[in-house]
Chain A
Amino acid sequence: MVMATSIKEPGLEALKRLKSTEAPVWLTPNPSLSQTARAVSEHLFASLKPFTPKSPFEKLLTQGFDAEQIWQQIDLQSHPLMSTLRREVKRFEKNPDEISKLKKAQKVEHKGSEGVKGVVEEESDGLDEGLDGFDEELDEDEEEEEEEKEEEEERESEGEEEGEEGREGGIEDGFLKIKELEGFLEDGEAMEYGLKKKGDGLGKKNKKGKESEDEEEDDDDDELGAFELGDDEDDDQNADKMASYEDFFGSNKKKASKRKSEVNDRSEDLDMGDEQEDSDMGDGQEDSGMGDEQEDSDMGDEQEDNGAFENKKQETLSTHEKELQKLRSQIELMEKEDLKQQDWTMQGEVTAEKRPVNSALEVDLEFDHNVRPAPVITEEVTVALEEIIKERILKGQYDDVQKAPRLPSVAPREIKELDENKSKKGLAEVYEEEYVQQTNLNSAPLSFKDEQKKEASMLFKKLCLKLDALSHFHFAPKPVIEDMSIQANVPALAMEEIAPVAVSDAAMLAPEEVFTGKGDIKEETELTQAERKRRRANKKRKFKAEAAKRTAKKPQDSTSLNHDHGKEE
């Protein structure tokens, strides 16, 4: 600050002015305030300029630019600065000798501490003040300024040491020292192996460390871990632990208190400044409004600030953490559900006893219907059917079942008609005829109606023929009159010769024509068990009937005999 005032007054004056303005003034857009703010940022930028050789801007262009553009310029300058500063701080952590070298220039340190304080105050102011984008820029600028200053000092001290060595091959410059790099790598390996030895003994912090390790990998800057290691040097347990998320963004319970104590104890304010920067940056990026609300407006009290920071860290987790929490809770819920007794619908094969009464009615059960569903009869269906019916009627196509005409295999036998008139022949003549028929082979039996019937049928056929000839246009030939002649089963020879010389066995009718049985005649070997039983049952029935008849006949015979005797005598 002293240095600054001597060199650049207008900038400092502007800073003072900003500092002096009261909080509510910031709420309303004030052109004078904005001018002062711009002047301040220009001043800071210029002061940091010598430490950024690669910066494209000579000076901060603020006139005619809006907040975003100014911010971008500052950002361009500050990014490389930040990384170099961190590296330097790590280096200092490892090598306390260098710090002692630094201590030679105590003046610088003092300035730095004061500057830090001022930065803190201003930062707090900035955070309090709210929605204006300038706040962030201011904070950033202030932080950068501090970093720049620190780095400057470090570089000076370093330059004293290593300037003699000279530069090798042009690879090394102010920042990159190969020997430092090698030393760093060795330290890193030692740390790793050391951690693994002590891995069992670590408790909660290890878990958190693992989580944060993932995050660390994402980070380009592994040096952030160095800050925490620096912090935990006092704690024996976590001497070799890898940096974790909680180290940076704060575990809500233990770390906060540790940090508090450490921050107070440490002579170096660099770490604290960094921590604050980190937290502020994080907060500023995420939710400036929230930060404003939560933080105290206390400017001078670091502890309160820290407390505020801790509160913030407890309530605001990163998105990843939130997601993980959600997942975990969900998983727990689901596991609990799975372990419970399931509903009967989810239990697989369930009988009626295992489920409540009539419960199957309430559930929609899915099962295969093997029956085709009945067709719904609509008007269209009936109309279609009726049309089909009408068509069929008109065509006369009824699809009636027609009996297949069976060919007569046997010559139609003349059915003997029962004569119900008193026979004109005497019994003697009847028997005489019978006898003659038996002995005389020529004579065939004639039924009484043959002659008359034949005559009548012949007459009728002749008449029909004549009528047909008259009614048809085309010639119809004489129909063949099939005579239904009776084929008597008389030996064939009888028909041919009058006087039979020898008697032949050949009969007129073929065996199948003589055969009167029905269906298949099976031999005994061909019968099935059921058929055999049936035959036997029939036989028994016949036998019983005959036996009954015989018993009935016997008394009859005896009585008839008695009658005869009586009558004769």
Chain B
Amino acid sequence: MQSKEAPTSMDVEAVPSAPKVEFGSLPMKPKFKPLSAHEMSDGQVQFRKVNVPPHRFSPLKKAWMEIYTPVYEQMKIDIRMNLKARRVELKTRTDTPDISNLQKCADFVHAFMLGFDVIDAIALLRLDELYVESFEIKDVKTLRGEHLSRAIGRLSGKGGKTKFAIENATKTRIVIADSKIHMLGSYKNIRVARDSLCNLILGSPAGKVYSKLRAVSARLAESL
């Protein structure tokens, strides 16, 4: 609301102190306020749309409020669920402080759709340097049938312990969806996690991966 009037009025008000125009000298530099997100897009609203896969529909329904609250309250982004189209829509408001909020929220929702937990995905909203990386098992090694199943089993481990071990050691979150693997974390940690997962896919036993993890994580911890 104010945003529309502000520029013009501000522009006018900003220059009263310099009525004299000296001969041969340039006028004073104008000082502007920073643009809001809304103004930046020239008063137009920006949208983001995130598809909801069918297996994530019911978890979305369960965790809707946990998603909605931080997005709307803290990020100041309008969020709504389009049931017909089965997608989540995000829209900037006029009081959105930062243009990147929209993208962050979109990433956040997207991460949830990939399979990450809300509490894990919330980190995306809070920290800038977190990324989501995905790859497929076939990118690493072409496996078919039983081999593929075994590789997936190797990745997870018994009761998921291998996956958790990697997650804890590297401070990342991993989602294994059939033959797709998604990782959430900072860049270095994602790399370590990816290496471990690739080794597991390629066939190395879990113990070996653990020992490597130990060494690497210790190094990572000390490097801080």
The verdict on A427 contacting B173 (CB below 8 Å), with A416-B214, A420-B161, A421-B164 known, is: yes
In the bound complex, residues from chain A placing their C-beta under 8 Å from that of B169 are 418
The verdict on A428 contacting B126 (CB below 8 Å), with A418-B214, A556-B139, A568-B50 known, is: yes
In the bound complex, residues from chain A placing their C-beta under 8 Å from that of B224 are 434, 437-438
User: Is B98 interfacial (CB-CB < 8 Å)?
Assistant: no
User: Is B221 interfacial (CB-CB < 8 Å)?
Assistant: yes
> Chain A, 146-186, contact with B by CB distance < 8 Å: what is the 0/1 string?
00000000000000000000000000000000000000000
The verdict on A420 contacting B222 (CB below 8 Å), with A428-B119, A428-B123, A556-B135 known, is: no
> Chain B, 167-178, contact with A by CB distance < 8 Å: what is the 0/1 string?
111011100000
User: Is A560 interfacial (CB-CB < 8 Å)?
Assistant: yes
Listed residue (A418, A421, A569) with the most chain B CB atoms within 10 angstroms of its CB: A418
* One of A420, A437, A560 near B134 (C-beta < 8 A): A560
In the bound complex, residues from chain A placing their C-beta under 8 Å from that of B217 are 416
User: Is A487 interfacial (CB-CB < 8 Å)?
Assistant: no
A420 touching B165 by the CB < 8 A rule? yes
The verdict on A559 contacting B139 (CB below 8 Å), with A423-B168, A434-B171 known, is: yes
User: Is B80 interfacial (CB-CB < 8 Å)?
Assistant: no
In the bound complex, residues from chain A placing their C-beta under 8 Å from that of B119 are 426-429
A427 touching B160 by the CB < 8 A rule? no
Interface residues in A395-416 (C-beta closer than 8 Å to B) = 415-416
Q: Which residue of chain A lies nearest to B125 when distances are taken between CB atoms in the complex?
A: A428
The verdict on A418 contacting B213 (CB below 8 Å), with A427-B185, A434-B224, A489-B222 known, is: yes
> Chain B, 203-224, contact with A by CB distance < 8 Å: what is the 0/1 string?
0000000100110011001101
A567 touching B120 by the CB < 8 A rule? no
* One of B127, B164, B173 near A420 (C-beta < 8 A): B164
User: Is B37 interfacial (CB-CB < 8 Å)?
Assistant: no
User: Is A496 interfacial (CB-CB < 8 Å)?
Assistant: no
B171 touching A445 by the CB < 8 A rule? no
Q: Which residue of chain B lies nearest to A432 when distances are taken between CB atoms in the complex?
A: B126
B122 touching A423 by the CB < 8 A rule? no
In the bound complex, residues from chain B placing their C-beta under 8 Å from that of A489 are 222
C-alpha spacing A563/B181, complex, angstroms: 13
Interface residues in B153-167 (C-beta closer than 8 Å to A) = 157, 160-162, 164-165, 167
User: Is A422 interfacial (CB-CB < 8 Å)?
Assistant: yes
B165 touching A418 by the CB < 8 A rule? yes
A427 touching B120 by the CB < 8 A rule? yes
> Chain A, 431-464, contact with B by CB distance < 8 Å: what is the 0/1 string?
1101001100000010000000000000000000
Size bin of chain A's contact surface: 20 to 34
* One of B110, B130, B218 near A416 (C-beta < 8 A): B218
In the bound complex, residues from chain A placing their C-beta under 8 Å from that of B130 are 427, 431
B165 touching A427 by the CB < 8 A rule? no
User: Is B105 interfacial (CB-CB < 8 Å)?
Assistant: no
C-alpha spacing A559/B180, complex, angstroms: 13
User: Is B78 interfacial (CB-CB < 8 Å)?
Assistant: no
The verdict on A419 contacting B165 (CB below 8 Å), with A428-B123, A445-B221, A489-B222 known, is: yes
Min distance, Cβ B140 to any Cβ of chain A, angstroms: 9
In the bound complex, residues from chain A placing their C-beta under 8 Å from that of B106 are 568
In the bound complex, residues from chain B placing their C-beta under 8 Å from that of A430 are 171
The verdict on A419 contacting B168 (CB below 8 Å), with A427-B185, A559-B139 known, is: yes
C-alpha spacing A563/B136, complex, angstroms: 11
C-alpha spacing A416/B214, complex, angstroms: 7
Q: Which residue of chain A lies nearest to B219 when distances are taken between CB atoms in the complex?
A: A516
A423 touching B110 by the CB < 8 A rule? no
The verdict on A560 contacting B135 (CB below 8 Å), with A418-B168, A427-B120, A431-B123 known, is: yes
* One of A419, A426, A560, A569 near B123 (C-beta < 8 A): A426
User: Is B48 interfacial (CB-CB < 8 Å)?
Assistant: yes
C-alpha spacing A445/B221, complex, angstroms: 10
User: Is B184 interfacial (CB-CB < 8 Å)?
Assistant: yes
Listed residue (B135, B172, B184) with the most chain A CB atoms within 10 angstroms of its CB: B135
Q: Which residue of chain A lies nearest to B53 when distances are taken between CB atoms in the complex?
A: A567
In the bound complex, residues from chain A placing their C-beta under 8 Å from that of B120 are 426-428
Min distance, Cβ B188 to any Cβ of chain A, angstroms: 12
The verdict on A427 contacting B184 (CB below 8 Å), with A418-B169, A567-B51 known, is: yes
User: Is B95 interfacial (CB-CB < 8 Å)?
Assistant: no
In the bound complex, residues from chain B placing their C-beta under 8 Å from that of A423 are 164, 167-168
In the bound complex, residues from chain B placing their C-beta under 8 Å from that of A420 are 157, 161-162, 164-165, 168
> Chain A, 525-569, contact with B by CB distance < 8 Å: what is the 0/1 string?
000000000000000000000000000000110011001000111
C-alpha spacing A563/B113, complex, angstroms: 14
The verdict on A426 contacting B117 (CB below 8 Å), with A416-B217, A434-B171, A567-B51 known, is: yes
In the bound complex, residues from chain B placing their C-beta under 8 Å from that of A434 are 171, 224
Q: Which residue of chain B lies nearest to A426 when distances are taken between CB atoms in the complex?
A: B119
In the bound complex, residues from chain A placing their C-beta under 8 Å from that of B110 are 567-568
C-alpha spacing A423/B106, complex, angstroms: 25
* One of A418, A427, A559 near B171 (C-beta < 8 A): A427
Chain A contact residues, CB within 8 Å of chain B:
415-416, 418-423, 426-432, 434, 437-438, 445, 489, 555-556, 559-560, 563, 567-569
Q: A418-B213, A420-B165, A489-B222 are in contact. List 6 more A-B contacts (CB 8 A).
A: A416-B221, A419-B168, A422-B164, A427-B173, A431-B126, A556-B135
Q: Can you report 27 residue pairs joining A to B where beta carbons are below 8 Å apart? A: A416-B217, A416-B221, A418-B210, A418-B214, A419-B164, A419-B168, A420-B162, A420-B164, A420-B168, A421-B161, A422-B160, A426-B119, A426-B123, A427-B130, A427-B171, A427-B172, A428-B126, A430-B171, A431-B127, A431-B171, A431-B186, A434-B224, A438-B224, A489-B222, A555-B139, A568-B48, A568-B50
